[in-house]
Amino acid sequence: MAKAGSSRSGSVSAGNTVIDIEKVTKVYQTGDVTVHALRGVDLKIDRGEFVAVMGASGSGKSTLMNILGGLDYPTVGEYRLDGEPISRLDSDGLARIRNRTLGFVFQSFNLLSRTSALENVELPLLYGDVPARERHHRAAEALTQVGLADRMEHHPNQMSGGQQQRVAIARALVTRPKVILADEPTGNLDSETSVEVMTLFQELWRAGITIVVVTHEPDVAAFAGRVVNMKDGRVKSDRRQEARDAREALAAAVAQREQEHEHEQSELAEQASATREEAG
């Protein structure tokens, strides 16, 4: 496992590590079948990194995400988040960590229906005992940050998928977490909206927030500064890369769409004129 982490040696100082996973294994017992979801994973993530965790289904990336998110305990091994040993906390302690230190973004947004964007974003602060006025203020701030200042009173069913995911990102941001964990955040979005959401993640990254995204799409992983590949419960590769600029990608995608649109329009016009000629 030490080999897998070799590519990041040198650039990291110990005090700068925010996620530190050491020899973590996870074994599930489902009936008579024993599933080794993680078979000894070591992973160190520094403050301010943007990491994409990739892998096929069954590679253990979701299990890793659940452990990183404090939703599950490792069977063996140590997990320190921001220096705090998470693997020894009880259920209330984990709830506190999820509330204060982590922010979650899910594939299916998981917004409360019939609840305004503002109230959805306030939800983590409610469990963090933040007073009402500050809750309002911070939620409004987070929504402004994701570009939804004019949608605060909208309900999820009045918003597009991209907007809903941005509300979810605002909800993850609002507690000012150390790390944002995103599980297939673009899985339910079309390619252009996906790039839009990745633009937002890159902005947060530039603002200094540590981001871990689980994805199986190489297109999405390209926007991260580091890609961790999982296979059979182990880290197969771990490399840094030049992150693709999402803004440029977005501009390119928009340009292409417009071009296609024009193309379609001209084709349609041609068809129309052809029909007219036939009719005439």
Partner 1 sequence: MTSLQTVRIAGRALMRNKLRSFLTALGIIIGVGAVIATVAIGDGAKSMVEQSFAAMGSNLLIIMSGTTTSGGAHGGFGSQPTLSWDDMAAIQREVTSVKYTAPQLRTSAQIINEEQNWTTSVTGTTPEYFLIRTWTSAAGSLISTADVDGATKTVVLGQTVVDKLYGPSVDPNSVVGQSVRIKNVPFQVIGVLERKGQSASGQDYDDGVFIPSSTFQAKVQGGLKQYLSGVILANATSNDTTARAERQITSLLRERHHLRKGSDDDFSIRNLSELANAQQEGTRTLTTLLASIAAVSLLVGGVGIMNIMLVSVTERTREIGLRMAVGARRSDILYQFLVESLTLSVAGGIIGIATGIATAEELASKFAWPLLVRPQVIIIAVVFSGLVGVGFGLYPARKASRLDPIEALRFE
Q: Which of 100, 136, 154, 178 binds partner 1 (CB under 8 A)?
A: 100
Residue 37 or 41 with smaller CB distance to partner 1 = 37
Binding flag, residue 72, partner 1 (CB under 8 A): yes
The token pair at 275 is 């029909």
Segment interacting with partner 1 (CB under 8 A) among 31-39, 108-116, 136-144, 198-206 = 108-116
CB of 40 to partner 1, least distance (A): 21
**Taking the complex as a whole, how short is the minimal distance between the CB of residue 91 and partner 1, in angstroms?**
6
Choosing from 14, 31, 34, 92, the residue that interacts with partner 1 (CB under 8 A) is 92
Is residue 91 part of the contact set for partner 1 (CB under 8 A)?
yes
186 closest CA partner among 154, 206, 161, 208: 161
CA pair distance 271, 276, nearest whole angstrom: 9
* Options 1, 35, 56, 71; binder of partner 1; rule CB under 8 A: 71
State which of positions 169-228 bind partner 1 (CB under 8 A). 171, 175
Query: Between 43 and 173, whose beta carbon lies closer to partner 1?
Result: 173
CB of 98 to partner 1, least distance (A): 5
Residues binding partner 1 (CB under 8 A): 66, 69, 71-72, 91-92, 95-96, 98-100, 104, 106, 110, 112-115, 123-124, 126-129, 171, 175
